[in-house]
Structure 1
Amino acid sequence: MIAYDDKHRENPAPAELLSQDPWDSNASDTTTPSWDSHQDPENPFNWPASRKWALTCLAAFTTFLAMMNGTIITVAHFEISELFSISETAFPNSYWPVTTWATGGACSALFILPLAEDFGTRPVFLSTYLIFMCFLIPQAVAQNFATLVVTRFFSGGCVAILANTVAGVIGNLWETEWDRSVPVSLFILGYMAGSSIGPVMGAAIFQSLGWRWISYMQLIWFGALFPVFYFFFYESRGSAILAQRARTKRGPEAKSLKLNYRGLIDSAKRPVILVFTEPVLFVSTLWSAFTVGTLFLFTQSVEQVFMELYGWNVSQTGFVQCSIVIGECVGWSLNFISRHLYFASASRNKETPGTPIPEARLYMAILGGVFGISGGMFTYAWTSYPDFPWIAPAISLGMVGAGSVLVVNGVSDYVVDAYSQYSGSAMGAVATGENLFSAFLPLATMSMYGRLGLQWASTLLAFVSLILSLIPTLMFIWGREVRARSPFMNEMMKDTTKKSAVEEV
């Protein structure tokens, strides 16, 4: 009998030290649960392709819908500030609902998201979904600014779980790098496009119904979709399925579980351990966080730029951000080129002949960083004049959107492939960095664009993004040495080799 449970290995691995079972059964059983065979139909890797794709698309759609919550309220900041007497003279206080939202996401991604690896994705997802809906209500009926700021913190925490659960689902369903590449790109598209289309949706609701209906409408559509998720968001975590199977076989007395707090703490601190002991994950987190944070800062300037140049109202500045979403869709389509380049690199790999070069995942990320993000920001900077038609800076926004998807997708592919068994923890660390930078960098937008001017503020961001694009170039030079220092990646490579040997036997 062949066991593919990620917690059951012949030799203890560094990664195994990070894993503790947070639930203890009342029944004693020393048998490690495992699949009946390599073809066990309950193993998510063996599910029909239609079921895998249905769950993958459902999870990606959840990411898109949930991430919209972060930016959908930004178009109403003038009215909210006026209603609650919030001053914008010395500091952009109206941005605090977004800052606390992103901060909540950073906290939950770091400490709660890894629980899905131990408890299963379904219970964590569904319970978080309901909690998230509860926090939409006080946002809609808030009678003071503090209520809005505090409830947005918890909403952001819930969104981080909902949006990033899909990363774990992908690792649970798709076994090989080839199979995972398209699902990961769908996750990234949903993640980035959801944030970018938030102001567009918010502008439409705000213009027609007012700012409180932004939360009411979310409550309506999330409530309407809950039955869909309840019946079709299946458990995909192999270890959770095996644990449930073992409890069922042992009888009713084994179904009573108690919480193992030590295991709970171990699950929560796993992303911290990984990000500070795994150089690959540390570099990936830093790069992706700077990219997303800079993108948030940059897009916060859209309202300021288009209102000053063309005299647009707030709703119009929300609608123009459709160009970012269009660009992100273009960037997603270019990921198929990235996929081809990555697997074609196997013929040039002298380190491990026949397998793709890991850093080949970053080819298109370089192009996206240089020509998409940096190029788009430079173009945006020097078309920010009233003499240019509005379509010129709008196209620049699309370039930035395309580049951001390529960069973040390259990082995510790299991380999910490297840490597939603990992709929830790894992506939790990445998401924490992205949320922290997204929370605080945009607070500088108003003063930076006010003091440097529209052109030079965007130019400064373009130069920063250009420097960040050197990171994958350095990985081409030192990537092998960096990976050699990663005990986790080395152990996973050994596991893959042993698994292939067993399958051949």
Structure 2
Amino acid sequence: MSKDISQHDDAADAPDVEKQPVPETEGVGDTSREKDPNIVDWDGPDDPANPMNWSSAKKLAAIGIVSIISFTYVTNGPFASTVISPASADVMKTFHSTNETLGAFVTTVYLLGYVFGPLVIAPLSELYGRAILYNICNFIFLIFNIACALANNLGALIVFRLLAGIAASCAITLGPGTVADMTPVEKRGLAMVGLYMGPLVGPTFAPLAASYLAEAKGWRWIFWLISILAGVVWVAAMLFIHESYAYVILKWKTKRLRKETGNQQLRSALHTGNTPGELFKISIVRPLKMLFLSPIVFLMSLYMAIVYGYLYLLFTTYPRVFQGQYGFSNGTVGLAYLGSGIGTFIGLVFCGATLDRLLVYLTKRNGGIAKPEYRLPVMAIGALFIPLALFMYGWTAEKKEHWILPIIGTGFLGIGMFTIFMPCATYLVDAFTLYAASVTAASTVLRSLLGALLPLAGGKMYDALGVGWGTSLLGFIAVAFIPMPFILWTFGERIRESRFSQVKF
């Protein structure tokens, strides 16, 4: 896969958040570097300290905990980001506000944290590693969710939600890098499915629990529930997430050997002499450069952002459709979220069964060289489901057909969302393996920004166009994106290797 990496660093190939050994190789340095007795590297290809050589149980525990963190409060529609949606009316009533846009903002402001958080978390993990960032952000998230439960005015609630979102962005920013640290390319698709299972399935089941909890105990208990879960996750992460970032592991090993041997000339195989300040400056601008200067990153991120925005837009309008039109109570409105949840689960199973197998099959058919484009056939299926879902949801609701029909439409949206999101995310990690965290941060920034802002226009759009034509407008945009998987299948490699796609850092 090293031939597929299309990003290059001018700063003497400085190590960064994602710069671990290419997964297909076991060592770090080249032959000449390994001959230098002052270079600290892995102790051979079977070194147990190398995350690639960890036991399956240790890898599964690490990826599983990150997925659980994501389910509880991390990006792409996590539990915490959507759990307040069905109770937003009660929140506004508590604070004596009737502003519909502000009510939607209470839900979506959480996602603005994902716009700012990754840009800081990624470079900090470059300096201190992944594990410590997980633990610190978990604790900060816990504190600010307790603050949300105790908020005494709407402004404070919005600020606390924003700060909780910033902390929550950690797992989605570093998670793909954690997967790349320990998983070879031919197994990465299934590992990514496991990683994203929480953040993609969570938002559809969370409102169901929240709607009944808010009805029985009030909206503040939603945040107490999140805080309880966050406390459990914080403890589990400290116990089961070990440092997997090769740069930091070798840095620790170098410090230990210097102390034991007294040889101050020892240096890590991944160290190039850059100061922490220089590394921070390089890493903090990389995600934005990749987003705006790499056509592949921008197109993939834009597509995921639009699909993600659809999900949040529909979520914030569920009370209008299912309560106002179909007469659902505050509790039963949560059942409407099950459609997209079931669809997402179907998409999850499909991606888990096909992503890696398809990559292996196409690699064997094409000379044994794996390419990121081999993930795209699955995405082509999702591209067809999205417009079908939107047209079905909009017009069955507009015509007041049986309530199960728009819910089935959201089920198709769940299938389409997962079968687009997973190939896109895995494609980016495969294409930019050495920069997995930066490319994830880049896509997260755009996706979260659109996911936060698009729902704010939902109320006015549906007031002006109605449910049918309002949702159809989204459907027409989705139709325009149907050719994208086919275009990238044909021209993706050429675009990645073009001189116009080379980003200098």
TM-score (norm 2): 0.86
* Counterpart position of 1:80: 91
Q: Give 1:481 shift.
A: 1.9
DSSP-derived class of the 1:355 partner: coil
List alignment gaps of at least 5 residues for structure 1: 1-5, 7-11, 23-28, 492-505
**How is 1:199-348 mapped onto 2 (pairs within 5 angstroms)?**
199-251=207-259, 260-335=276-351, 336-348=353-365
- Residue 479 (1) aligns with residue 458 (2): no
Instruction: State whether residues 309 and 385 of structure 1, in contact with CA within 8 Å, keep that contact through their aligned partners in structure 2.
Output: no
DSSP-derived class of the 1:354 partner: coil
* Counterpart position of 1:160: 169
Instruction: State whether residues 305 and 384 of structure 1, in contact with CA within 8 Å, keep that contact through their aligned partners in structure 2.
Output: yes
* Counterpart position of 1:33: 40
Give, in whole Å, the separation in 2 of the partners of 1:483 and 1:416: 13
* Counterpart position of 2:202: 194
Instruction: Give the residue type in structure 2 aligned to 1:19.
Output: A
Give, in whole Å, the separation in 1 of the partners of 2:438 and 2:285: 9
Give, in whole Å, the separation in 2 of the partners of 1:129 and 1:403: 31
Instruction: State whether residues 126 and 280 of structure 2, in contact with CA within 8 Å, keep that contact through their aligned partners in structure 1.
Output: no
* Counterpart position of 2:118: 109
Q: Give 1:18 shift.
A: 6.8
Instruction: Give the residue type in structure 1 aligned to 2:360.
Output: F
Q: Percent identity?
A: 25
Q: For residues 228 and 311 of structure 1, do their structure 2 counterparts lie closer, same or farther at Cα, with a shift above 3 Å needed?
A: same
Give, in whole Å, the separation in 2 of the partners of 1:244 and 1:31: 15
Give, in whole Å, the separation in 2 of the partners of 1:102 and 1:173: 29
Give, in whole Å, the separation in 2 of the partners of 1:475 and 1:333: 24
Q: Give 1:347 shift.
A: 4.6
- Residue 97 (1) aligns with residue 113 (2): no
Give, in whole Å, the separation in 2 of the partners of 1:177 and 1:461: 35
Instruction: Give the residue type in structure 2 aligned to 1:417.
Output: D
Q: Give 1:341 shift.
A: 2.8
Q: What is the aligned counterpart of 2:50 among 39, 43, 47?
A: 43
- Residue 389 (1) aligns with residue 396 (2): no
Instruction: State whether residues 339 and 411 of structure 2, in contact with CA within 8 Å, keep that contact through their aligned partners in structure 1.
Output: yes
Q: What is the aligned counterpart of 1:119 among 125, 128, 144?
A: 128
Q: For residues 344 and 319 of structure 1, do their structure 2 counterparts lie closer, same or farther at Cα, with a shift above 3 Å needed?
A: same
TM-score (norm 1): 0.86
Q: For residues 298 and 114 of structure 1, do their structure 2 counterparts lie closer, same or farther at Cα, with a shift above 3 Å needed?
A: farther
Give, in whole Å, the separation in 1 of the partners of 2:125 and 2:37: 23
List alignment gaps of at least 5 residues for structure 2: 18-35, 265-273
Q: For residues 306 and 386 of structure 1, do their structure 2 counterparts lie closer, same or farther at Cα, with a shift above 3 Å needed?
A: farther
Give, in whole Å, the separation in 1 of the partners of 2:13 and 2:285: 8
DSSP-derived class of the 2:332 partner: helix
Q: For residues 393 and 13 of structure 1, do their structure 2 counterparts lie closer, same or farther at Cα, with a shift above 3 Å needed?
A: closer
Question: Greater CA deviation, 237-246 or 96-105?
Answer: 96-105
Q: For residues 223 and 48 of structure 1, do their structure 2 counterparts lie closer, same or farther at Cα, with a shift above 3 Å needed?
A: same
* Counterpart position of 1:417: 430
Q: Give 1:422 shift.
A: 2.1
Give, in whole Å, the separation in 2 of the partners of 1:406 and 1:232: 30
Instruction: State whether residues 19 and 267 of structure 1, in contact with CA within 8 Å, keep that contact through their aligned partners in structure 2.
Output: no
* Counterpart position of 2:480: 467
Q: For residues 195 and 32 of structure 1, do their structure 2 counterparts lie closer, same or farther at Cα, with a shift above 3 Å needed?
A: farther
Q: For residues 347 and 38 of structure 1, do their structure 2 counterparts lie closer, same or farther at Cα, with a shift above 3 Å needed?
A: closer
Q: What is the aligned counterpart of 1:358 among 368, 372, 377?
A: 372
Instruction: Give the residue type in structure 2 aligned to 1:248.
Output: R
Instruction: Give the residue type in structure 2 aligned to 1:82.
Output: K
Q: For residues 13 and 464 of structure 1, do their structure 2 counterparts lie closer, same or farther at Cα, with a shift above 3 Å needed?
A: closer
Name the Cα RMSD after superposition.
Answer: 2.6
Instruction: Give the residue type in structure 1 aligned to 2:40.
Output: P
Give, in whole Å, the separation in 1 of the partners of 2:337 and 2:65: 25
Q: Give 1:272 shift.
A: 1.8
Q: For residues 72 and 409 of structure 1, do their structure 2 counterparts lie closer, same or farther at Cα, with a shift above 3 Å needed?
A: same
- Residue 451 (1) aligns with residue 464 (2): yes
Q: Give 1:385 shift.
A: 4.9
- Superimposed CA distance per residue, residues 141-189 of structure 1 (whole angstroms, 9 cap, x where no aligned partner): 1111110111111111111113332212101110x22111101112222
* Structure 1 stretches of 4+ moved >6 Å: 486-491
Give, in whole Å, the separation in 2 of the partners of 1:487 and 1:32: 36
Instruction: State whether residues 306 and 312 of structure 1, in contact with CA within 8 Å, keep that contact through their aligned partners in structure 2.
Output: yes
Q: For residues 71 and 214 of structure 1, do their structure 2 counterparts lie closer, same or farther at Cα, with a shift above 3 Å needed?
A: same
- Superimposed CA distance per residue, residues 196-251 of structure 1 (whole angstroms, 9 cap, x where no aligned partner): 22322321321221101111111112213322211111111111111111111112
* Counterpart position of 1:68: 79
Give, in whole Å, the separation in 1 of the partners of 2:187 and 2:162: 35
Instruction: State whether residues 205 and 213 of structure 1, in contact with CA within 8 Å, keep that contact through their aligned partners in structure 2.
Output: yes
Q: Give 1:112 shift.
A: 1.8
